[in-house]
A and B are shown apart, each in its own frame.
Chain A
Amino acid sequence: MFYELAQSLTSGLLIGSALAVLSVGFSMAWGITHVLNVAHCAFAVLAAYLGYWSLSLWGIDPLLALPAMLPLFFVLGVAMHRLLIRTTARRAHDLGLATMVLTFGLGVVMENGMQLAWTPDPRVLKTAYSSLAFSIGPLIVQAPHLVAFGLATATIGALYLFAERTFMGKAVRAVWQQPMGAALSGIDLDRVTTIAYGLAVATSAVGGVAMSLLYTFDPATHLSWLVYVFLVVILGGVGSILGSALAGLIIGLIIGVSSVFVPLAWNNLVLFGLLILLLLLRPQGLLQR
């Protein structure tokens, strides 16, 4: 029993970190720009396909392709914000609802575009370290899980430092916490929200690559990933970078523990049951006051 629990916890925590990095951008966009980007995971799946492509066509590991993907996704995010979100925001009475419908449509278009480009066949990313595993005593840690954990730590850490240490990061936080006050202080709201949105979409690329190391994917996968993203963001608190990290790990922990002590078919019941409980106790999320 101890071995099962320890192994499941290890694996669950590492998977939780991948969920966290997938979710952090969604949380940022929602918190700072008040945009519910339902297409966030479609961008992540697009990154997974680009990683798959770089590996299968040119033999370049997706991790090495990621530095090229990040600026591309940043630009995509900026373009999306400037062309679609801002235009909708000016017309809509309810920004959250309007952008949710808009990005849902965008997600469907992206899904169909990916079907055309890569067919609906499921894909498996087979890197040089896909089958590697490390032993820590009786525990075994799978290399892809460890890489995903590394990606998550680096990305969330970098985002946290950006938000805490840089002027732009502080401006982003100011816009999130008090938009009116930020504007009165001379912060260009348009510029800050556009950059925040670009960053949010860029992190989806990291999330997509991390998830593709662990799971198979196809163009329709984004919807199943989105369920976990919502879970992480609601638990961690909308807009909270560290909250997303903590929520991802907690969800991984719950999955690990419940897999050992309750039948597997009840996993989602336990997961969503605890979520409801946490929401009742802390509706603002874990780390928000």
Chain B
Amino acid sequence: MTGHPSRRQMLWTTLLIWLAALVVSACGQAPAAPAPTTAPATPAPTTAPAAPTTVPAAPQGTPIKVGCSLPLTGAFADTGVWVERGYRQWAEDVNAAGGLLGRPVELTIYDDESKTENAVNLLTRLITVDQVDLLCGGYPGTAAAAQMAVAEKNQKVYVSMGGHMASFSQGFTYVFGAPPLMGQWWYEGLYSWLATLPEADRPKKAAIFTINNPVGAAILEPMPEKLGALGIEIVVNERYDVPLTDAAPLVTKAKAAQADIFFANGFFPDSVQIVKAMRALDYNPKLIAQGVGSIIPAWVQELGKDGDYVFSGTAVHPSLPFEGISRLNEVAKAKYNAPVAPIYFIFGYAWMQALQRGVEGAQSLDQTAIRDWLKSNQITTVAGTFTFDERGLPPPYNYLTQVIDGKVELIWPPEVRTKDPIYPKPAWGQ
């Protein structure tokens, strides 16, 4: 190495680094200090289809501040940004329809960079420093579960997906899953549909591979009992760590055990590896059920034909016959060029609607009044109609989905079915 650099060289290097950091932070992607993104209080002009409302009075008075943190960068950003878009769409619609309690709504959404500790700190900041009137929920389940404790401690109503059953079993009274994303309920639709098949047609041997994290544990929890009740023997039941280095051993184990139903209880990256290995090793069970990965848009966009015929579950869906869903589909198409409203867009919108129902029902921003109203009344959102028990949960439910011709179709219950299921699974490539 030679002597000292010239001042000009140092200056250019510093400038380059600063410029790069500036570009990144200007786009709301900086991992440093949390920069809130605040939605306008007044209705913003939009290219999206207008809400089917009559001309309402413009919202007046001090804005109602609603705040939360979401993973807008980092590992969970792909879904986190859709939750944010759902929240913002709700705020836009509410403001266009005259506001909440006649007042405009103002959103403050911090980026927690997909880190649970940031999510907790930012929620505390929203409550203590920003002094928001209402909270919106975080994502994913790990962040939501941690934030639920903060909300409960501060006696703030907190509507989110929750962090599976464990998070709703802490004795909290201000938390609601409206709807929740409940691992324990993930295959409710699948179990119900399998029960309608003649016993001879049902799969006989199950291989279960589960991601080694709280989501996987929640999905796995009821499986032995539920599958046992259907007469399905579990021949392989293993957990794996992520990143999954090699999916071939999983597939060879299932193949060697002659399992005819394969459960890949994981996320997108590991499940893609598993499906690719299944195809390569020519292992074609009668039914493949997958955890969380196959209902996100990337599954059909990125996997194409290989992602077909995979069953999964969901608590919301763009084809559900609920009021407001078709409009959200149009909005997603017009604003974000998405073929239909992504699931987390609907989730975000539905959680805010649930909160809105509580506020309107209580006619107040008093958190205890909102909580009590929600616990004693039925609410309707784009995700359906809900009542809540003392834990803040609706009765157990989940829809069965299957990817058919690159679309996530609803299979069960029959009243929401969008396509007949394809079972047993055709050979690979067909």
User: Does residue A124 face the partner (Cβ distance < 8 Å to B)?
Assistant: yes
Q: Are B249 and A115 in contact (CB under 8 A)?
A: no
State the interface size on chain B (CB cutoff 8 A).
60
Q: Are B246 and A133 in contact (CB under 8 A)?
A: no
Q: Are A109 and B20 in contact (CB under 8 A)?
A: yes
Encode B305-343 as 1/0 by CB contact (under 8 A) with A: 010000000000000000000000000000000000000
Residues facing A in B70-98 (CB within 8 A) are 73-75, 77-78, 81
Residues facing A in B228-243 (CB within 8 A) are 238-241, 243
Separation in Å of the B214 CB from the closest CB of chain A? Answer: 14
Separation in Å of the B9 CB from the closest CB of chain A? Answer: 7
Q: Are A124 and B5 in contact (CB under 8 A)?
A: no
Most buried by B among A116, A131, A260: A131
| Given A122-B269, A126-B302, A267-B240: A115 in contact with B1 (beta carbons within 8 A) | no
Q: Are B13 and A84 in contact (CB under 8 A)?
A: yes
Q: Are A90 and B24 in contact (CB under 8 A)?
A: no
Q: Which of A4-12, A57-65, A198-206 lies at the interface with chain B?
A: A4-12
User: Does residue A278 face the partner (Cβ distance < 8 Å to B)?
Assistant: no
Residues facing B in A132-146 (CB within 8 A) are 132-133, 140, 142-143
Residues facing B in A210-236 (CB within 8 A) are 214-216, 218, 220, 224, 228
Total residue contacts A-B, CB cutoff 8 A: 153
Query: In the bound complex, what is the Cα–Cα distance between A115 and B31 (angstroms)?
Result: 12
User: Does residue A181 face the partner (Cβ distance < 8 Å to B)?
Assistant: no
Residues facing A in B397-430 (CB within 8 A) are 428-429
Encode B24-39 as 1/0 by CB contact (under 8 A) with A: 1001011100000000
Main secondary structure of the interface of B (DSSP, over half): helix
Q: Are B3 and A11 in contact (CB under 8 A)?
A: no
| Given A4-B256, A264-B238, A264-B239: A108 in contact with B31 (beta carbons within 8 A) | yes
Query: In the bound complex, what is the Cα–Cα distance between A228 and B246 (angstroms)?
Result: 13
User: Does residue B110 face the partner (Cβ distance < 8 Å to A)?
Assistant: no
Encode B279-318 as 1/0 by CB contact (under 8 A) with A: 1111000000000000001100111101000000000000
Separation in Å of the B276 CB from the closest CB of chain A? Answer: 7
Q: Are B30 and A8 in contact (CB under 8 A)?
A: no
Q: Are B1 and A264 in contact (CB under 8 A)?
A: no
User: Does residue A255 face the partner (Cβ distance < 8 Å to B)?
Assistant: yes
Query: In the bound complex, what is the Cα–Cα distance between A218 and B298 (angstroms)?
Result: 11
User: Does residue B10 face the partner (Cβ distance < 8 Å to A)?
Assistant: yes
A89 partner residues in chain B, CB cutoff 8 A: 1
User: Does residue B212 face the partner (Cβ distance < 8 Å to A)?
Assistant: yes
Encode A266-281 as 1/0 by CB contact (under 8 A) with B: 0110000000000000
Query: In the bound complex, what is the Cα–Cα distance between A4 and B246 (angstroms)?
Result: 13
User: Does residue B2 face the partner (Cβ distance < 8 Å to A)?
Assistant: yes
* Given A4-B256, A133-B281, A224-B243, 14 other A-B residues pairs in contact with their CB atoms under 8 A: A4-B252, A7-B281, A90-B4, A126-B304, A131-B279, A133-B282, A143-B280, A193-B1, A214-B273, A215-B243, A215-B273, A259-B246, A264-B250, A267-B245
